[in-house]
Structure formats: structure tokens, C-alpha cells
Chain A
């Protein structure tokens, strides 16, 4: 089954990266929950499928922390949906998380590729 196969190919999200991915996805404009999942899936070449069960709690958590704001708007296909938008604090948070991620991933890369071979 196609869906089953795709499921097998997915990479599980690392703990704590979901928030960053959400913030990053919203960097270029507001988006609704379904759109965020699609955007992450497409930009990760289908490798990352964010579970709705993780996404919505995360969105609400980020909103509560003041990094996102939400409002109901019409979609392009003229349906109502709740759009999330990055706040100023959210932008700062994105920069901070991005930096941390860069440090982290280069550190891991350094360990995994000790000969300096870029992967």
C-alpha cells in the first residue's frame, strides 16, 4: 500500500524540533494547521509528516507563549480556517532556535564525520 510505504519512509521528528519547524514555516506568512503540515511535508521531500496530534497542541502552546497569534480567515478555496501568524517575539524565538539548531547539527556532524567529510 502506498500510504503504508510512505509511512515507513518517514523520519521521526527529533524532540523539540517541531516548534522550530512551525516557526520557520510561518516565517513567510500566516498559514493554517493543515497548510503547515503540507508545507513541512513538501519542503522535506515527503520525509517529515507532522502528526496532527502533535501539531495542534504545539500550535496552541506556541500561541500561549505569545510566539504565534491566530485569527479566522477565508482560505483560497473560500473556506474558513484558523490562520497562525508569527509575532515579533516568535521571530526572535525562531532566530534563537535556528542558531541553536545550527550549533547542534554541526556538532553532531563533527562527531559523525570525524574526517571532516561533509555529508
Chain B
């Protein structure tokens, strides 16, 4: 059964009870009016009963959470300035973190190539000449290929192309690569094919492969683009394939063309101009590969004067991808982490400052019958949704001298709703510096209630000496006036003892704490007396 239906059900149950009670009394000779009043009085405070009964359904805490969240949301709306500051602070902190994190995630994410840890860059080193990560020459490349370390070893040069589509020409970045490059990367094209050995043959090299980005931006992601012709550097090239979106990039390249070595390049051992990328052969570990390449290079450096003093370095491609960025990214991440931390600290400070303003609210909650544990979550939940203290409006109203806390929505007092504030509620305004004999108790009915019986007590105020409160409460109880009663008193006073007693007897709600506002209290008493609503 839904909560709403259950509520209605309970309401009907109460009504049925009252009908039967009234009928019984009328059968015993009472007038309809008398019977109804007596039955209502005997029945008790329906709102309170409804609340207590609801607690039995076992979802009270959830309901309270909802109330607290709703309350927090309303407070946020009421304190727009505070809300905006908090939201902006958090937005800045969280936004910066998210941005940097997404960069890090992208940068440090594994490359989208199968078994990426086996793909390495091969560099030439020369300690004596202080060469570090130098490119390769064609004869070196051929020797490395024959070393048996790599299942495939490709050559890559970065370059640019003039891409002409229609009458528009653009400069775009591209790579010239040998067919082994794709074999080393072991990536399947999205469309068409990758380069083959034949593409490096003279006369067959006018082919190109598009990156996913270029295919999307210039070719409208048209799948029929494969096999069509595109003009690169004034020469028509046939598009043979399109790479997948996830294909890792060396730089900003958007197009790939075959790398064909010229005779001069192929002959010169000191013509170092390209990058070698290889996939380690199955069964060859990285360490073993390094060893074998070192041996090989040692032989070469003795054999050829151009290679004298050279050695070889293998670098996993994943390292190369983040090489310099790693430290930078981690520093950035740390920095934005601190930004968030500072944002949180600032908000905590703000809330702390507001917390001072909320002391009154807390006291009031407790005074209105919230058990301490009931009052607390309301605070924290509100903070959870970055809720402002929001008591300001109420305090301002008070400061304007209206002096009464507008209050008492019977039965729902723990979550005192600000939108009840406009109800013309009589109120209680207890005082911590109460002296014996001071009027410290005011029971109050509330205007604007649906319940007819409760409406009869609209605006009634009761004031009496705290030493006589037991008698009073009993009277309230026996008359079942429907008034909620606030009790004030110093801690440890007889009031506490009385409260326990009276709570048992009346099940009314009692204050445990109190406020300064004696003037307001006296005013309320005077007003009530003048209006003839004083209940003594």
C-alpha cells in the first residue's frame, strides 16, 4: 500500500471511530453537538496520533529524511546568495578535478592496440656524442629487422600534406609509414585495408589512409570514400582505408601515406631520419630484446665507422605516449586536488559561520519537541545538499520586533517548516533566565488547521507558573484542548521531572530548552489577556 493510501486509510479509520463514538453518545441521549464535542475530546489530538501511528509503519526515518531534504531545498532557495557562492565554489573545485582527471584518464589509459606492452620504439643512442633518442637510418633498420627480435618493425616519419578537396586546399599533418607499421600496431582498419608491401613499390605508392577524425570532418563519414581519389601535394592518391577512432596517434596526424625510401636514403648509414616502431616477436621478453639489440648494435658499431659508439634503446610505446606528460599531469592533479580541498574548507567555514546563526534554530527544534537525535540529522542533511542555515529571514523578522516565533504546527513540529510561518500562530517564548513565578508556559493552538476541533482553539494562549504546570497540563489533557504545550525551564529544575511526568500523561510535546525573549513572552501574554484568550 502506498503511503498516501495508508494515510487516507488511517484518516478514514479515525473518522469511523468518531462516527461510532458520536452515535453511541447520541443513543445515550446527548445532543448531536454535545456528542460530537465529547467524542472529539475523548479521541485526542488526531494529528499527533496520526504521526505516532505512522511511526509504526516503519518508514518514519525515511519520511524524515525526505522532509529534511525538502527543508534543505527550500532553505537553499531562500538563501540564493549563499547557495550561489557554495555552488560556484564546489563547481570550480569539482570542475577542475574532473577536467584534469579526464585528461589523465585519456593520457594514462592503455593504448587501443592489442598487447600494447610488446610494442616498442627503437632509438639510436650515443653516449659519447650525447645523442639521446635519435632516429634510425635505412641500413640500421634493415639490420634490426633481421635481428629476429621483432615480428614486424615499421618506419615512421612525420610530415605534412597539402590536401585538396574541390577548390579548397589545407595543410594537414600526416605520417609516412612503411607497411610494417600497421603490422606492428596490429590494428584492423575501420574501412578498407591498411598498407601492404606492394604499396611501397614505385608507381604504386599513391595511396592514402584516413584517420577517423579526418574521415568525419572532411569526408562526412562516408563509407564509400574507400577507393576514391584525393589530391595530396598535387598528386592524386587513392584512399584505401580508414582507421578506427581509437587508433593511437604519434602527433597530430590525420592522414597516412606510404614511406618509400629514396636511393640516397637507402644507402646512407648516417642518414638518420625516421622512427622505428616494432612489435616484439612472440616469446621474446623485453629484457631479452634489449640484450639482443645491444649485442647487435655493438657488432654494427665495430663494423661501420658511421655507427661507431652507437647503442640502441628500446622504449615501450606506452611509456613514450605519456613520457613527459606523466609528471606534469600528476602535479596538475595534485594541484586541483588542493583546489577542491580548499573549496571544501571554505564551504565548511561558511557553514560554521552559519551554524552560529542556527543555534537558535536548533534550540527551537528541540524546544518544539524534536528529540536531540531528531534535530541533528535535519542539520546534517541540509548541509549534505549544501543547504544554508537560512534562519536569517526568520531572525530578521524577529529583529523587526515581531517578537513571536510564529510556530507550532502541531504534530509536525520537529521539522518546523518555514512556510508555516505565515500562519497566525500563537506561540511560546520561553526564557532561560526564568524566575520562580514567572509565566513560562504557553500552550498554543494554531490557526489554519484543517481539523475543526483544533480550530476552535485557534490562538489560545495559556500562561502559568512553572510550579503549577502539572496541574495545567493535566487540565489541558483532560479537556483535550488540542493545544500543544511548550515547557521551558532550566536544566535540572523541577521542570525536567515534570516533563517526564507530563509527557506520560498528556503525550503533548514539551520544550527542553528555552530562549531569551522575555519581552516577547510578556507581550504575548499581554496580547492574549487583552484578547481574552488567556488560559490559566
Q: Which A positions have Cβ atoms within 8 angstroms of B?
A: 3-4, 7, 32-35, 51-53, 56-57, 60-61, 64, 75, 77, 79-82
A79, B400: Cα distance in complex, Å: 54
Q: How far apart are A34's CB and chain B's nearest CB, in angstroms? A: 4
B53 touches A56 (CB 8 A): yes
On whether the beta carbons of B20 and A81 are closer than 8 Å, the reply is yes
Which residues of chain B are within 8 angstroms of A34 by Cβ–Cβ distance?
A: 16-17, 20-21
A60 touches B53 (CB 8 A): yes
Tell whether, in the assembled complex, residue A4 and residue B57 are in contact, meaning their CB atoms are under 8 Å apart.
no
CB within 8 Å of A: which of B15-73? 16-17, 19-21, 23, 38, 42-45, 48-49, 52-53, 55-58
Inter-chain contacts of A77 with B (CB < 8 A)? 20, 23
B25 to chain A, nearest CB (A): 11
Q: Could you jot down 20 A-B contacts, CB within 8 Å?
A: A7-B478, A34-B21, A35-B20, A52-B42, A52-B43, A52-B49, A53-B48, A53-B49, A53-B52, A53-B507, A56-B13, A57-B53, A57-B56, A61-B56, A75-B20, A77-B23, A79-B20, A81-B20, A82-B12, A82-B16
Q: Give Cα A79 to B13, complex, Å.
A: 11
Chain B residues whose CB sits within 8 angstroms of the CB of A3 once the complex forms: 38
B233 located at the interface, meaning its Cβ lies under 8 Å from any Cβ of chain A in the complex: no
B453-471 contacts to A, CB under 8 A, are none
Query: Which of chain B's residues have a CB closer than 8 A to the CB of A56?
Result: 10, 13-14, 49, 52-53
What residues of chain B lie closer than 8 Å to A64, measured between beta carbons? 56-58
CB–CB A57/B49 < 8 A = yes
A32–B16 contact, CB under 8 A? yes
Closest to A33 in B: B17
Q: Which residue of A lies closest to B43 (CB)?
A: A52
Task: Annotate B397-408 by CB proximity to A: 1 below 8 A, 0 otherwise.
Answer: 000000000000
Residue of B38, B56, B58 ringed by the most chain A CB atoms within 10 A: B56
Complex alpha-carbon distance, A81 and B20, angstroms: 9
User: In the complex the two chains form, what is the Cα distance from A77 to B17 in whole Å?
Assistant: 13
When distances are taken between beta carbons in the complex, the residues of chain B under 8 Å from A61 are 56
Contact A80 B44 (CB under 8 A): no
Say whether B306 faces chain A, with CB atoms less than 8 Å apart.
no
Bound CA span A26–B16, Å = 19
Q: Determine the chain B residues whose CB is within 8 A of the CB of A4 once the complex forms.
A: 478
User: How far, in angstroms, from A118 to B79 measured CA to CA in the complex?
Assistant: 71
User: What bracket does the count of chain B residues touching chain A fall in?
Assistant: 20 to 34
* B143 proximal to A (CB < 8 A): no
Contacts of A81 in B (CB 8 A): 13, 16-17, 20
Chain A residue numbers with a CB within 8 Å of B9 are: 82
Top 8 A-B pairs, shortest CB-CB distance: A60-B56, A61-B56, A34-B20, A81-B16, A53-B44, A34-B17, A57-B52, A57-B53
Bound together, the chains give a CA A60 to CA B57 distance in angstroms of 7
Q: Give A14 to B21 CA distance when docked, in angstroms.
A: 25
Minimal Cβ-Cβ distance residue in B for A8: B478
If A60-B10, A82-B12 are given as contacts, then 10 extra A-B residue pairs at C-beta distance below 8 Å, sorted by A number, are A34-B17, A56-B13, A56-B49, A56-B52, A56-B53, A57-B53, A64-B58, A77-B20, A79-B20, A81-B20
Query: Which residues of chain B in 433-483 are interfacial with respect to chain A, using CB atoms and an 8 Å cutoff?
Result: 478
Is the beta-carbon distance between B23 and A51 smaller than 8 angstroms? no
A34 to B13, CA, bound (A): 10
Smallest beta-carbon distance B26→chain A, Å? 12
Residues of B within 8 A of A51 (CB): 44
- Given that A56-B49, A57-B49 are known contacts, is A33 also in contact with B478, CB under 8 Å in the complex? no
Report the separation of the CA atoms of residues A3 and B55 in the bound assembly, to the nearest whole angstrom. Answer: 31
- Asked if A80 meets B49 with Cβ closer than 8 Å, knowing A4-B478, A57-B55, the reply is no
| A8, chain B: closest CB distance, angstroms | 10
Question: From residue A107, how far is it (CB to closest CB) to chain B in Å?
Answer: 25
Find chain B residues with CB under 8 A from A79 CB.
16, 19-20
- Which residues of chain B are within 8 angstroms of A60 by Cβ–Cβ distance? 10, 53, 56-57
Q: Cβ of A33 and Cβ of B48 under 8 Å apart?
A: no
Binary CB contact string for chain B from 499 to 510 against chain A (1 if under 8 A, 0 otherwise): 000000001000
Bound-state CA distance A80–B23 (Å) is 14
* Chain B residues closer than 8 Å to A7, beta-carbon distance: 478
Report B287 CB to chain A, min CB distance, Å.
69
Please, how many angstroms separate the alpha-carbon atoms of A34 and B19 in the complex? 10
Name the B residues within 8 Å of A80 (CB-CB).
12, 16
Knowing A7-B478, A77-B23, A82-B9, say if A52 contacts B55 (CB, 8 Å).
no
The residues of B that contact A57 with a CB separation of less than 8 Å are: 49, 52-53, 55-56
A82 and B56 form a contact (CB under 8 A): no
B53 partner residues in chain A, CB cutoff 8 A: 56-57, 60
How far is it, in angstroms, between the C-alpha of A99 and the C-alpha of B56 when the chains are bound?
A: 26
Docked CA distance A12–B517 (Å): 38
Q: Please pick, from B13, B45, B56, B478, the residue contacting A53 in the complex, using a CB distance under 8 A.
A: B45
Residue of A nearest to B18 (CB): A34
Chain B minimum-CB-distance residue to A65: B56
Give the Cβ gap from A6 to chain B, nearest Cβ, in Å: 11
Residue of A nearest to B21 (CB): A34
CB distance from A85 to the nearest CB of B (A): 15
Given contacts A53-B45, A53-B48, A53-B52, contact A32 B17 (CB under 8 A): yes
Q: In the assembled complex, how far is the CB of residue A12 from the closest CB belonging to chain B, in whole angstroms?
A: 9
A4-B478, A7-B478 known; A52-B44 Cβ under 8 A: yes
User: In the complex, A56 Cα to B58 Cα: how many Å?
Assistant: 14
* Interchain CA distance A103-B43 in the complex, whole Å: 34
Q: How far is the CB of B531 from chain A (nearest CB, A)?
A: 28
A104–B49 CA distance with the chains assembled, in angstroms: 30
Report the minimal beta-carbon distance from A70 to chain B, rounded to whole angstroms. 9
Residues from chain A with Cβ under 8 Å of B57 in the complex: 60, 64
In the bound complex, residues from chain A placing their C-beta under 8 Å from that of B12 are: 80, 82
CB distance from A115 to the nearest CB of B (A): 34
